[in-house]
Amino acid sequence: MDLEIRRKLGRLWITKSADQVVLDVDPGLSAHWLRAVIALACGGILLDIADHGVDSVPFGFAVALALACVLIPASPAPLLLILVSAAAVTATVDQPFAPGVLVMIPLVHLLHLSCAITAVLPRHARIAAGALWPPLRRAVFVQAVVWVIVLLGYLLPQGRTPTILELAGLLSVAGIAVVIVVLDRVR
C-alpha cells in the first residue's frame, strides 16, 4: 500500500492511500479506572464521616451506599451517599468552616462526576483520555466558583445579615440560574 498522507489528530492516526483510508485509534483507558476513582472518593467520604464520630448504623448505611456507588454508579446510591454524608457531617460539626466540612466539597463533586461519566459507559468500555478533558475543565471551574463562595461566606460577618447583603445574595443566585439556563440552551 502506498502511503500518501499520515496525520495525527489527537490520538487518532489517519492514513490515506489511493484506494483506502485507515483509522488507527488509540485503545484509551479502561472504564474500570473510573470505578477506582469512585471507590477512592467513597473511601474519602467514609473516612470523613468516621472521623466525625457518626454512629454505627448510619455509618453502615453509608458503607452500603458506597459499595452500591462502585458497583452500580447509575443508581440513586451516589445521591443518597452525598445526602447521608452531608447530614452526618452537619449533625456532628459545630463550625461551618471546619476542615471536615470543607473536605467534603471536592469529595462529593468527584463522586458525582465520576459516577455520572461511569453511568453512561458500558462496563468494559475504553475511553480516550482526551474525552475526559471537557468534564474535568468544567469541574475545575465549578470548584473554583464554589471555593470563592466559601471564601465569601467565611468573610461575611456573623449575626444578623444586613438587608442589602440578603438582596445581593438573592440576585446573585437568580443570576446564576439565568446563566445556567442560557448556557444549557446554547448546547
The pLDDT confidence band at residue 22, using thresholds 50, 70 and 90, is low
| Domain boundaries along the sequence of the chain | 1-29, 31-155, 160-187
Q: Which of 116, 120, 104, 105 shows the shortest CA–CA distance to 37?
A: 116
Q: What is the DSSP letter of 157?
A: P
What's this model's pTM, rounded to 2 decimal places? 0.71
State the pLDDT at residue 1.
Answer: 40
Query: What is the torsion angle, in degrees rounded to the nearest 10, for the CA atoms of residue 90, residue 95, residue 96 and residue 98?
Result: -100
Question: Do the Cβ atoms of 118 and 31 come closer than 8 Å?
Answer: yes
CA dihedral for 91, 97, 103, 106, sign (positive or negative): positive
- Mean pLDDT value across residues 82-86: 93
State the pLDDT at residue 6.
Answer: 46
State how far the alpha carbon of 26 is from the alpha carbons of 36, 126, 177, in Å.
Answer: 21, 10, 39
pLDDT at 10 over 80: no
What element of type H or E holds 127? strand 126-127
pLDDT at 5 over 50: no
Question: Do the Cβ atoms of 93 and 53 come closer than 8 Å?
Answer: no
C-alpha cell at 5: 498522507
State the pLDDT at residue 12.
Answer: 52
* Segment 40-81, tens digit of pLDDT: 999 999 999 999 888 899 999 999 999 999 999 999 999 999
State the pLDDT at residue 126.
Answer: 82
Q: Which of 60, 63, 68, 70 shows the shortest CA–CA distance to 39?
A: 70
The pLDDT confidence band at residue 3, using thresholds 50, 70 and 90, is very low
